[in-house]
């Protein structure tokens, strides 16, 4: 089985408005996922370097980032990053360019875990419902045009409060993973963080990581799913 998590880390800015990347890394250790899809993993201003310094990841965690190499000092693309643990092999990866009025993007990574290939898509969609649907359709179109079809997990902060709009677009050919509210972390009421799987994947269990540390580290809680491929 494979444990996958998705987490909007809010640029590692904690509830006290201080940047605390070490706290995010500690929460990732609490979850113990094999693969983590991050949103808001880069700083917002300046050269937009990673909010989780690469040297800190290397020194204090088991994870290494999939190397998109789109911007020096960044670990992803428009804040979207994929972290993989020991035993996960990178097969290929690419950034996904999305239609948008503000900087948005998604990332794709094909990996091998437990001897099986798995396709991952991490995303952070727009605040506007109209642009969310355009972005969802762009992602789905990109997936349709891949040269091969692999078991797929898509996850991220969709900024969608209802089970409509872009949720319906993703659910046309994929199953939504049951997850609880993850926003706001202090008192979660919104299911903004979502996950979808394709055929060939069984969801064994899933949920929201609502630890004391997580409630104070970002405005989102991490979500997770334990899956079986094949």
Per-residue pLDDT of 59-91, as tens digits, reads 988 999 999 976 766 888 999 999 999 999 999
Q: What is the pLDDT of residue 46?
A: 52
**Are the CB atoms for 198 and 169 separated by under 8 Å?**
no
Instruction: Give residue 156's pLDDT.
Output: 98
| Banded pLDDT at 9 (limits 50, 70, 90) | very high
The yes-or-no verdict on residue 45 having pLDDT over 70 is no
Burial class (CB in 10 A: 0-12, 13-18, 19+), 199: exposed
**What confidence category does residue 43 fall into, taking pLDDT thresholds of 50, 70 and 90?**
confident
The CATH code of the domain that includes 75 is 3.60.10.10
DSSP E strands in 98-151: the ranges are 105-113, 116-124
Which residue range is the domain that position 211 belongs to? 2-229
- Amino acid 198: pLDDT: 98
Q: How many domains does the chain have?
A: 1
Burial class (CB in 10 A: 0-12, 13-18, 19+), 111: buried
Euclidean distance between CA atoms 123 and 105, whole angstroms: 7
pLDDT value of position 15: 80
Query: String of b and e for 174-198 (b: at least 16 CB within 10 Å)?
Result: bebbebebbbebeebeebbbbbbbb
Q: Convert the pLDDT of each residue in 146-187 to its tens digit.
A: 999 999 999 999 999 999 999 999 999 999 999 999 999 999
- How high is the mean pLDDT of the chain? 94
Q: Indicate if the pLDDT at residue 100 is higher than 90.
A: no
What local confidence, expressed as pLDDT, does residue 44 receive?
61
- Residue 11 is classified by DSSP as G
Q: Is the pLDDT of residue 47 over 70?
A: no
Percentage of the chain beyond pLDDT 90 is 82
pTM beyond 0.85: yes
């Amino acid at each position: 089985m494979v444990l996958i998590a998705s987490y909007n880390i809010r640029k590692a800015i904690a509830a006290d408005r201080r940047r605390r990347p070490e706290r995010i890394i500690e929460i990732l250790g609490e979850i113990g996922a094999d693969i983590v899809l991050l949103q808001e993993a880069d700083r917002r201003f300046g050269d937009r370097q990673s909010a989780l310094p690469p040297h800190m990841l290397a020194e204090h965690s088991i994870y290494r980032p999939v190397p998109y190499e789109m911007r020096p000092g960044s670990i992803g693309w428009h804040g979207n990053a994929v972290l993989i643990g020991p035993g996960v092999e990178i097969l290929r990866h690419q950034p996904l360019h999305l239609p948008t009025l503000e900087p948005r993007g998604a990332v794709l990574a094909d990996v091998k875990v437990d001897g099986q290939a798995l396709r991952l898509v991490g995303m952070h969609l727009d605040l506007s419902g109209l642009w969310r649907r355009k972005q969802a359709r762009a992602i789905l179109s990109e997936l349709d045009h891949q040269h091969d079809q692999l078991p797929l997990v898509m996850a991220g902060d969709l900024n969608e409060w209802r089970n409509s709009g872009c949720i319906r677009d993703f659910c046309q050919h994929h199953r939504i993973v049951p997850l609880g509210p993850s926003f706001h972390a202090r008192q979660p009421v919104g299911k903004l963080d979502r996950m979808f799987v394709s055929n060939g994947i069984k969801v064994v269990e899933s949920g929201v990581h609502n630890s004391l540390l997580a409630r104070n580290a970002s405005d989102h809680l991490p979500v997770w799913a334990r899956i079986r491929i094949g």
